[in-house]
């Protein structure tokens, strides 16, 4: 009887441990599969796109060169409320010639819905658009 109790207790511990690991892995997988796509269109960046894997409540900061333009995208995405993810993003284009276009913006992102806006730089007489989309990886 004592041996059966120990066997059952051990089996329950293995099942509980496996279930907790699977639950944690599923939660991590869901968070890791979210991506933010940012597309910049200006005379310096023609349809430049970068896709960034994001995790809820974890800051990210990505830099990517496109010719003589250094693009920087940083921000944080928060837990969803009613299917909408609050996100604060900073998007910047900086050329080797000193042109610097960018700024911060708050978003209410929904999966697979494109959000965009345009900005103008008075110092460089340049217009630029930014398009942001939250999506899930197909993995």
CB count within 10 Å of CB 99 equals 17
Query: pLDDT tens digits, residue range 80-132?
Result: 999 999 999 999 999 888 888 888 999 899 999 999 877 766 655 667 889 99
Q: pLDDT confidence of 63, banded at 50, 70, 90?
A: very high
How many angstroms from the chain centroid is the CA of residue 110? 12
Average pLDDT on 17-26 reads: 43
pLDDT digits (tens, 9 = 90+) for 23-57: 444 444 444 479 999 999 988 888 899 999 999 99
């Amino acid at each position: 009887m004592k041996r059966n109790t120990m066997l059952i207790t051990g089996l329950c511990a293995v099942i509980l441990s496996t279930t907790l690991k699977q639950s944690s892995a599923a939660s991590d997988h869901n968070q890791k599969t979210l991506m933010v796509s940012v597309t910049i269109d200006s005379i310096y960046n023609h349809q430049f796109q970068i896709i960034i894997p994001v995790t809820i409540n974890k800051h990210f900061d990505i830099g990517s060169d496109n010719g003589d333009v250094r693009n920087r995208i940083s921000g944080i995405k928060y837990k969803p409320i009613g299917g909408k993810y609050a996100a604060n993003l900073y998007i910047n284009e900086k050329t080797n010639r000193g042109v610097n276009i960018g700024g911060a913006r708050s978003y209410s992102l929904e999966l697979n819905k494109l959000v965009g806006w345009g900005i103008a730089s008075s110092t460089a007489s340049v217009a630029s658009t930014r398009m942001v989309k939250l999506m899930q990886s197909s993995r």
